[in-house]
Structure 1
Amino acid sequence: MIRCKRVYDEAAQDDGYRVLVDRLWPRGMKKADLHCDEWARMLAPSTELRKAFHSETIDFIGFSKCYREELKQAGDAAQTLAKRARKETITLLYGAKNTEQNHALVLADFLRHLEG
Structure 2
Amino acid sequence: MSVRVRRIYDPPEPDDGLRVLVDRLWPRGLAKDAAHVDEWPKGLTPSTELRRWFHAGEGSFEEFRRRYEAELAAPEAAELLDGLGESARKGPVTLLTASRTPEQSHASVLAQLLEG
**What TM-score do you get using the length of structure 2 for normalisation?**
0.94
Residues 8-48 of structure 1, C-alpha deviations (whole Å, 9 max, x = no match): 00100000000000000011111121101101111010000
The corresponding residue for 2:56 is: 55
1:100 Cα deviation after fit: 2.3
Q: Distance in 2 between matches of 1:32 and 1:83?
A: 26
Instruction: List 4+ stretches of structure 1 deviating above 6 A.
Output: none
Q: Name the amino acid aligned to 2:92.
A: T
Matching of residues 21-32 of structure 1 within 5 Å: 21-32=22-33
Match of 2:89 in 1: 86
Count of residues in correspondence between the two structures? 113
1:6 and 2:21 correspond: no
CA deviation after TM superposition for structure 1 residue 59, in Å: 1.2
Gaps of 5+ in 2: none
Identify, as 1 or 2, the structure richer in helix: 2
Residue 105 of structure 2 corresponds to 102
Tell me the SS of whatever aligns to 1:39. coil
So what's the TM-score if we normalise by structure 1?
0.94
What is the alpha-carbon distance in structure 1 between the residues aligned to residue 67 and residue 57 of structure 2? 14
Deviation, 1:86, is: 1.1
Give 1:99 deviation, angstroms. Answer: 2.8
